[in-house]
Structure 1
Amino acid sequence: MTSQTESRDNPQALPASALPYRPCVGITLINRDGLVFVGRRKAEAGPEHVSGVHAWQMPQGGIDPGEEPPKAAERELFEETNVAPASLRPLGEIPHWLAYDLPPAVMKQAWKGRYRGQEQKWFAFGFLGQDDEIDVERPGGGAHKAEFEAWRWAPFSELAGLIVPFKRPVYEGVVAAFAPLAAWSAGA
């Protein structure tokens, strides 16, 4: 039997079902052509993100203590892509949280084994800026470590096939919720 002290000091001693989900936001950035920003994660960005050809994903990241999810979404997007809040048009929010569990081998490595996966609040934004605003090599005006090594615009129909398989159900939910927003610029 594991004591509370051992569990606190070594979260990996707990069964996966006893671990919490990491609170996180996900961002679907849609350009005027109805395409979605995806970035190819750097291998050193963490084991939870990269698996061979499934290295592409939409921006996402943790919510800081006391931070509201919409502000976390704007902050994370800026820290990963350099896209400033002034270049965003809010389009939608999935009203519920989407969660995924990490595979056991990845769970032991990611976030020091403290979480079973992530629970994500997803937001969609229309991109009002120009492509040259996006800078994944020096995101956040150069103040943040690059997590992506490349980026591109992709159609909604490709998104679920780009992500690591254990995150695929979340991406399918995001596509179902936000694909109708692809024509947002027609009404702008």
Structure 2
Amino acid sequence: MKLTVPEPDLPYRPCVGIMLIAPRGSVFIGRRRQEAGPEHVQGDRAWQMPQGGIDEGEDPLAAALRELHEETNVSAGSVVLLGETPGWLAYDLPPAVLKQAWKGRYRGQTQKWFAFGLVGDETEIDVLSPGGGLHKSEFDAWRWEEMDGLADLIVPFKRPVYEAVVAQFAVLAGWSEQAQRAAPSR
């Protein structure tokens, strides 16, 4: 999935996206800090799921767990992997944002998305000083949101990616109940 290509000679930035699903089926979203820049915030469209770049040589799943911790403070031991997109989803930055974001080195991002179920306590979530303040805070607030409302909260040029992610992971909204039904009785 791609939008109009503004700069075909520029590469996409490899990235991961994370859908963190609560046992009741709602999804974690964070509100980007206003100083985050135009690639993340446009008016009231400042909410998004955690995402971030993949380091050189890093496995995408490892990058997803790292980014989840860096942005939300949620540790790998507090989540269970529920799924991943079969391929990569890409978006292009609009021309007005292209030169400002990532110093103009990328035309957009190509993202591998992972869905995790939260099995730990949500009190672990700390977007203001993740990692005990070791990581820069990217969000200034967070909340749980229903999956079908996610695409309306993101900057418009990322909307098709969010729609694809929701379509892919919608079956996971009831993961906790499904796991309880499948568990052997004691």
Pairing 1:157–2:148 present: yes
Pairing 1:85–2:64 present: no
Shift of 1:46: 2.3
| Matched residue, 2:184 | none
Letter in 2 for 1:87: S
* Equivalent residue runs for 1:85-104 within 5 Å: 85-104=76-95
Aligned length in residues: 174
Shift of 1:141: 2.6
Query: Hey, which bits of structure 1, 4+ residues long, moved more than 6 A?
Result: none
Pairing 1:133–2:124 present: yes
SS of residue matched to 1:26:
strand
Q: Deviations over 1:80-133 (max 9, x none)?
A: 000000001000000100000001111100000000000000000000111210
Equivalent residue in structure 1 for 2:139, among 123, 130, 148: 148
User: Please, what is the CA RMSD of the aligned residues?
Assistant: 0.8
Equivalent residue in structure 2 for 1:23, among 14, 21, 44: 14
* Equivalent residue runs for 1:1-188 within 5 Å: 16-186=7-177, 187-188=179-180
SS of residue matched to 1:18:
coil
Shift of 1:47: 1.8
Q: For 2:37 and 2:24, locate their aligned partners in 1 and report how far apart those are by CA, in whole Å.
A: 31
Letter in 1 for 2:57: G
Q: For 2:15 and 2:45, locate their aligned partners in 1 and report how far apart those are by CA, in whole Å.
A: 20
Shift of 1:140: 2.1
Letter in 2 for 1:70: L
Task: Output the TM-score relative to the length of structure 2.
Answer: 0.92
Identify unmatched segments of 5+ residues in structure 2: 1-5, 181-186
Identify unmatched segments of 5+ residues in structure 1: 1-14
**Structure with the largest fraction of helix:** 1
Letter in 1 for 2:114: F
| Matched residue, 2:3 | none
Shift of 1:37: 0.2
Q: For 2:176 and 2:26, locate their aligned partners in 1 and report how far apart those are by CA, in whole Å.
A: 11
| Matched residue, 1:6 | none
